[in-house]
Amino acid sequence: MKPTEILKRDHDVVRALFKRYEDLGDNSSAAKKETYQKVERELSAHAQLEEALFYPALKGATGETQETPLREAFEEHRLVKQLLRELSEMTPGEASFDAKFKVLRENVEHHAEEEERELFAMTSEMDPSDFRELGRTMAAYKRRQGLRIHPRRDRLKNALERVKTTVSRTVNRVRHRVEAEARAVANLRGSRRASRRKSRS
Ligand SMILES: [Fe+2]
Ligand SMILES: [Fe+2]
């Protein structure tokens, strides 16, 4: 698989997780925590992969001429890691966490978009056999770290949609049950009050 395809799939997974966090709304701190932990895992592993293999390969192929975008990419990674460290010490669901998470999202989306536009274009400078070899090395690196190569976004999107539907059905079922029980309790109280009034009169 092309190295750029491996990275693009990682980017799309993180973009989908950011979207999921946003869709969770204000009252889902447990789900927000879980989503944040996934974002943190994905981003840390992805940055590690790029810094260990992808960026050095680009530097090797382009030399000094394209050093600036690579330096910028390293700086952006440093900022993202700093935000992740700060978020890891906060509580997901709180307003201050949501604000910092939004800054993380903006930074990551900007970085991924720039990477796909500028750095991916730099791979055209690579020798085709080196490019293929880099893809194999990156895939093996992921496997060694116990990470998967993500499926393409369309398949992933469908899987996420299925999970979302199941979760919202379960939430609705529980809510209906709780509401029905609350109604039953209210009715019971009402009829007890009525019978007490009756027995007093
Ligand atoms: Fe990156
Ligand atoms: Fe990336």
How far apart CA 49 and CA 42 sit, in angstroms, is: 11
- Does residue 165 share a domain with residue 143? no
How far apart CA 21 and CA 16 sit, in angstroms, is: 9
- What is the distance in A from the centroid of ligand 1 to the CA of 113? 10
Q: Which of 15-29, 41-55, 147-161 has the lowest mean pLDDT?
A: 147-161
Q: Which residues, including other chains, have CB under 8 Å from residue 127's CB and lie 6 or more apart?
A: 61
- Does residue 145 share a domain with residue 160? no
- Band the pLDDT of 145: cuts 50, 70, 90: confident
Ligand number nearest CA of 11 is: 2
Take residue 77 and report the two structure tokens written for it.
């990674």
- Does residue 169 share a domain with residue 181? yes
- What is the distance in A from the centroid of ligand 1 to the CA of 87? 19
Buried b (16+ CB within 10 A) or exposed e, 51-87: eebbbebbeebbeeebeebbeebeebbeebeebbeeb
- Does residue 158 share a domain with residue 137? no
Take residue 84 and report the two structure tokens written for it.
């992740």
- What is the distance in A from the centroid of ligand 2 to the CA of 161? 24
- What is the distance in A from the centroid of ligand 1 to the CA of 140? 19
Report pLDDT for 156.
Answer: 67
- pTM of the model as a whole: 0.74
- What is the distance in A from the centroid of ligand 1 to the CA of 154? 22
- What is the distance in A from the centroid of ligand 1 to the CA of 62? 17
- Does residue 126 share a domain with residue 195? no
- Does residue 145 share a domain with residue 155? no
CB 155 within 8 A of CB 36: no
- Does residue 159 share a domain with residue 139? no
* Of 129, 140, 130, nearest in space to 57 by CA: 130
- What is the distance in A from the centroid of ligand 1 to the CA of 102? 18
- What is the distance in A from the centroid of ligand 1 to the CA of 166? 33
Q: Tell me the one-letter amino acid at 157.
A: K
- What is the distance in A from the centroid of ligand 2 to the CA of 64? 21
Instruction: Determine the structural domain holding residue 99 and report its residue range.
Output: 3-150
The pLDDT tens digits of the residues spanning 168-178 come to 777 878 887 88
Stronger pLDDT, 85 or 27, i.e. the higher one: 85
- What is the distance in A from the centroid of ligand 2 to the CA of 52? 12
- What is the distance in A from the centroid of ligand 1 to the CA of 138? 14
How far apart CA 144 and CA 90 sit, in angstroms, is: 31
- What is the distance in A from the centroid of ligand 2 to the CA of 116? 8
For residue 44, pLDDT over 70 is answered with yes
How far apart CA 111 and CA 7 sit, in angstroms, is: 12
Number of domains in the chain: 2
- Compute the C-alpha angle 132/155/120, nearest 5°: 35
Alpha-carbon torsion (63, 137, 82, 93), positive or negative: positive
